[in-house]
Amino acid sequence: MFAGGLGYLFGLLLRVGIAGLIVALLIAAGLSYYSYLYGDRLVLRASRARPVTHEEEPRLHNIVEGLALAAGLPKPTVYVVPEAAPNAFATGRDPEHSSIAVTQGLLEKMNRVELEGVIGHEMSHIRDRDILLGTVVATLVGAVVLIAEYMLRWFWWGGGRLGRGRDRDGGEGFAILFALGIVFAILAPFFAQVIKMAMSRRREYLADAEGALLTRYPPGLASALRKIAADNTPMRVANNATAHLWLNQPSRIPGESNHWWENLFSTHPPIQDRIRILEEM
């Protein structure tokens, strides 16, 4: 998003279309690389996560160690987030540099099999490198936005000039392409976002299924999700930038709604669907 805004500013200031685009793309690439390397630390700090030792939380550590064994992955660092709402997330660019964080609420409200289900889900995210995938997709979406923005400005400033002084024959065909181009440029960022959200929802279902495979006990995660769905505690640290990382859509507002419009733009599938799929396994 930053890169998009910066790119636009650059374009305006320099009035040199292509240079502005290249600079913007370079900035986007740089930011993406930075988020690839340090993203996990930023997210952990933003959610006020605190690392915990085995002595402080033996049950949690035992569960994380057990599921790391089941997945054949190195053990991630374990964090606790001081929030009453039950939730969890995993972060880290690859399995060797991964972390799992759970909220205090999750620890207090879940029993052992439910915790195992949740950690299994997070471990699957780590194994499938969903965090890396999310970063790459976000970068591509950002690039699409930038390119579409550039195309729009090219059409706006340059299209008029090209239209004039041409043969009649060429003019009409060009006008149609011109119109299509504008429509595409306007809609592309919208569709890119929709695709990104759809991918995020797909990966959530995948993590549910793989987590159940890890624990060999789908009712564990189903039960945990049921408890989370019934729990109305709002989260203080929730925001749109990190929403996709959590186990379930964090919300500041208690309650649940199921409009198709919201589902199109939500990073998580509806929780009742997730529970139903797990129960049918």
Partner 1 sequence: MLALWIVLGLVGLILLYGVFTYNSLVRLRVRCENAWSQIDVQLRRRYDLIPNLVESVKGYAAHEREVFEEVTNARASAQAASGVQDQARAENQLTAGIRRLIAVAENYPQLKANENFLALQEELTGTESKIAFARQFYNDQAMRLNTLVQSFPSSIVAGLGRFEQREFFDIEEPARGPVGVRF
Q: Does 74 bind partner 1 (CB under 8 A)?
A: no
* Interface pick for partner 1 out of 62, 104, 233, 263 (rule CB under 8 A): 62
Count of alpha carbons within 13 angstroms of residue 255, beta-carbon side:
2
- Minimum CB distance to partner 1, residue 61 (Å): 8
DSSP class of residue 244? Answer: G
Q: DSSP label at 251?
A: -
Whichever of 74 and 163 has its CB closer to partner 1, that residue is 74
206-235 residues near partner 1, rule: CB under 8 A: 216
Which residue stretch of 27-35, 60-68, 102-110, 179-187 sits at the interface with partner 1 (rule: CB under 8 A)?
A: 60-68
Report how far residue 181's alpha carbon sits from residue 174's, in angstroms, rounded to the nearest whole number.
10
Contact 254, 233 (CB under 8 A): yes
Active site residue 262: no
Runs of H (alpha helix) within 72-167: 104-109, 112-127, 130-154, 160-163
Smallest distance, partner 1 to C-beta of residue 62, A: 3
Q: Is 66 in the site for partner 1 (CB under 8 A)?
A: yes
- CA 85, CA 102: separation in Å to the nearest integer? 10
What is the token pair recorded at 249? 């859509």
The one among 27, 49, 67, 110 contacting partner 1 by CB under 8 A: 67
Among 59, 166, 202, 252, binds partner 1 (CB under 8 A): 59
Cα Rg of the chain, angstroms: 23
Binding site for partner 1 (CB under 8 A): 58-59, 61-63, 65-67, 69-72, 112, 116, 216
The catalytic site residues sit at 122
